[in-house]
Amino acid sequence: MSPANRRTADASVIAAVHHPLRRRLIDLIAVEGPATASRLAEATGELVGNISHHLKVLAAAGVIVEAPELAKSRRERWWRTAHASYPQSSAATSGGPAADLVATSAEEAELVRHASKVRAWFEDRAEYDEAWLDAAFAIESWVTVTPERLDELSERLQTLIQEYVEAPGDGEGVERVFVFAHAVPAKP
C-alpha cells in the first residue's frame, strides 16, 4: 500500500521543496492559487529577481509548472503547483548516503517549520475569538500497528484532510488552518 501523500523523490526535489523560502512559495501558491514572481515578491518581501531564481529551481524540480493561460502578455509568467503533496520522509528518497543526508536535513527543517506554525498560534491566539480557541486542537495517541496498518492510517488521514482541501469553507469566520500529523515508531 502506498499512500497518496508519499512519493519517491531524488535529493534534488527534496532540496528544492525544503528550502525555507521555496517552501513558503509553495505554500503561498497552494493556498492563494497561481501567482507571478511579482506577486510572490510582494507577499514575501523578497526581491523579484530572488523569487524568480527560486521559482526556476522549483520548476526544474517539477514542483511547480507554468500556467500560461493566465498570462496577459508573453512576458508575464504565472506559476501553479504541480502536485498536491511533497516528500516528507527520508524513506521517500532514492539515491544513497548523500541523498539520505539531504532528506534527513529536510525532515528536520520541516519539523521546525511545523513547530513554528504552532508557536505562532500560541503567540497570536489572543487575537482570535472564543470559537477559534475552542476549535484549535492538538492530538496524540499511542497505537500499536504493523507498517501496513500505519500505511492504512496515513491513507485514511490523507483522504479525510483532502476532503477539506477540496471543499474549503466559505463565508464569514473562515480562516486558513495548518494541519499536520506525524506518526513514527517511538518509546514512551
pLDDT at site 97: 80
pLDDT at site 6: 46
Average pLDDT over residues 159-175: 89
Q: What percent of the chain has pLDDT over 70?
A: 88
pLDDT in tens, 18-45: 888 998 999 999 889 999 999 999 999 9
pLDDT in tens, 105-128: 888 888 888 899 999 999 999 999
pLDDT in tens, 43-70: 999 999 999 999 999 999 888 999 999 9
Q: Which residues have CB under 8 Å from 43's CB, separation 6+?
A: 28, 32, 35
pLDDT at site 98: 77
pLDDT at site 4: 44
Cα 137 from Cα 79, distance rounded (Å): 33
Question: So where are the chain's domains?
Answer: 11-127
Kindly write down the DSSP assignment for every residue of 19-56, as one continuous string: SHHHHHHHHHHHHH-SEEHHHHHHHHT--HHHHHHHHH
pLDDT at 89 over 60: no
pTM (2 decimals)? 0.72
The CA R_g of the chain, rounded to the nearest whole Å, is 18
Mean pLDDT of the chain: 86
pLDDT at site 109: 84
Count of Cβ atoms closer than 10 Å to residue 184 Cβ? 6
Q: What is the CATH number of domain 11-127?
A: 1.10.10.10
pLDDT at 2 over 70: no
pLDDT at 87 over 70: no
Name which residue leads in pLDDT, 56 or 93: 56
